[in-house]
A and B are shown apart, each in its own frame.
Chain A
Amino acid sequence: MRDIATTDADRFLALLQPIERDLETYARRLIWEPADAPDALQNAVMRGFAAFDRYHEDASFRAWMFKILTREAFALNRKHARIAKYEFQLEPEDLANLPFGLSLEASFERQLSPAELDDRLDEQLAAGLKTLTDSERAVLLLRAVGELRYREISESLEIPMGSVMGHLARARQKMRALLARAARRAENSKET
């Protein structure tokens, strides 16, 4: 007969395993220092397991773990006193002149294979994330990677729903601006 604590561990791991890949992806994109990601994951999982008796079955385990991981990631970012080093600074005109309905196909897809396009896009996304504030990055990633609803993001970050929508809109705009600039550069290099 298995002990209660061991049974809890089995239940916890059964819920954790399907979201491990998403948690790791989220941590690696949210944390400034890539080497800190495993520590953040470990701390978050152990905290989650320690508080598992307070987890309610009717709540979303996914949202609950993403919330814990977000706190750990922010704590690590603060611990290292990371200041966002914007490798790709966005100029105000990049945002102002951003066309609505941007199509990447026109710029990238004609000259790149799907695999090359994915690699190029990944580089651009990694660079784009560095142009975001902590809150903007967390909201964007909780929506895209965590697949959380706005209400769940609001609870995870303990900010109002309006702030979630504001952060998300700004984050998307910055990402689109960066991609648009990359697309323009690709167009220019093709013409020359």
Chain B
Amino acid sequence: MKCEELQSLHGAYLDSELDARTTLEIQQHLAVCPDCARAFAAEAKLEARVTTGLKRGERTPSVWDKIEQQVMTSAETESRRRWAPQVARRMPWWRESLWPSPQAWAGLAATWILLAGVSFALREPASLAATRQVRPPSPELRLVLQQQKQMLAELGGMPERFVREQPEAPAPKPRSQRREPFSNT
């Protein structure tokens, strides 16, 4: 390995980022080249000083206290959000009044609604109900009907009395008053 090649690799060498073979070659070269060894030592010292200088800094407590507090606040907010659904599940007063079985109340209401629906579906239409409504015939109509009956009776040879009045069946008598058909007396 030549001295120029070594200079291009000194950064990665100091950072221990080279593979084992290249690292060994550099170490072998430095062992036999005092100029490169001296330059590498100076570069290593300079690099260490630059690194130390760049790392020099303070932790500002006020900045980090505020940030850490924000992290905790964010965690607590998240925690409340996670528990929020359980709080929301607590029933309002009107639902608590249905306790302990709101499902039973809901079932009862559904049954009533079903019955009302069935009743509505099976009712007669209004027009049909109106036609089925029985009204007493007017006097004129009754007179016309009576005249028609009389005419029919005359045409058929039947007395008016027969048409108008149907003989009523005799009321049943008590068994003791009935005449025995097969009595010898």
Contacts and interface: CB of A to CB of B under 8 A. Distances in A.
Nearest to A12: B71
Given A20-B59, A24-B57, A100-B7, A41 B43 contact: no
Contacts of B74: 9, 46, 49-50
A46 B71 contact: yes
Interface residues of B, number: 42
A60 to B, nearest CB: 16
A5 B10 CA distance: 47
B64 A101 contact: no
B88 interface: no
A125 B56 CA distance: 11
Interface residues of A, number: 46
A125 B75 contact: no
A140 B7 CA distance: 18
Contacts of A165: 11-12, 17
A185 to B, nearest CB: 17
B176 interface: no
B123 interface: no
Interface string A110-140: 0000000010011001000000000000001
Nearest to B75: A9
Contact of A42 (B49, B53, B59, B70): B70
A38 B60 CA distance: 9
B72 A9 contact: yes
Interface in B35-64: 38-43, 45-47, 49-51, 53-60, 63-64
Interface string B14-52: 010100000000000000000000111111011101110
A161 B171 CA distance: 126
B75 A6 contact: yes
Nearest to B66: A42
A22 B55 CA distance: 7
A121 B79 contact: no
A175 B50 contact: yes
A104 interface: yes
A8 to B, nearest CB: 7
Given A24-B64, A45-B67, 16 more contacts: A3-B79, A3-B83, A5-B76, A20-B59, A21-B59, A24-B59, A25-B56, A25-B57, A28-B57, A42-B63, A102-B42, A103-B45, A122-B56, A144-B51, A144-B54, A165-B12
28 contacts: A3-B79, A5-B75, A6-B72, A9-B71, A20-B59, A20-B64, A21-B57, A22-B55, A28-B57, A42-B67, A42-B70, A46-B70, A100-B10, A100-B43, A101-B40, A101-B41, A118-B53, A121-B53, A122-B53, A125-B50, A141-B54, A144-B51, A144-B55, A165-B12, A165-B17, A169-B11, A176-B46, A179-B46
Interface of B: 7-8, 10-12, 15, 17, 38-43, 45-47, 49-51, 53-60, 63-64, 66-68, 70-72, 74-76, 78-79, 82-83
